[in-house]
């Protein structure tokens, strides 16, 4: 992703979210994966404000 594209993306996120906490953003800087049909998985854990423990929920399989 070119520097100007990153700046444009950052400006769009700022317009959309304003002063609120921004979401995580993952950019995969490859034109394509090694082979056609390949997939990739992104695993993430989100914790909402006011929750007690994400670790216990994750270990119990609730997440």
Please give the structure tokens belonging to residue 15.
């317009």
**What's 8's DSSP letter?**
H
Residue 55 pLDDT exceeds 80? no
Report pTM: 0.42
CA–CA separation, 27 and 9 (whole Å): 11
Residues of the chain with pLDDT > 70, as a percent, come to 73
CA–CA separation, 16 and 50 (whole Å): 24
Using pLDDT thresholds of 50, 70 and 90, give the confidence band for residue 63. Answer: very low
Q: What residue spans of the chain are helical by DSSP H?
A: 3-17, 54-59
Alpha carbon distance, N-terminus to C-terminus of the chain: 32
């Amino acid at each position: 992703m070119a520097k100007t594209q990153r700046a444009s993306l950052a400006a769009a996120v700022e317009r959309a979210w304003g002063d609120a906490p921004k979401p995580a953003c993952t950019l995969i800087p490859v034109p394509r994966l090694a082979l056609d049909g390949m997939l990739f998985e992104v695993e993430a854990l989100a914790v909402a404000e006011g929750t007690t423990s994400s670790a216990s929920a994750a270990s119990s399989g609730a997440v």
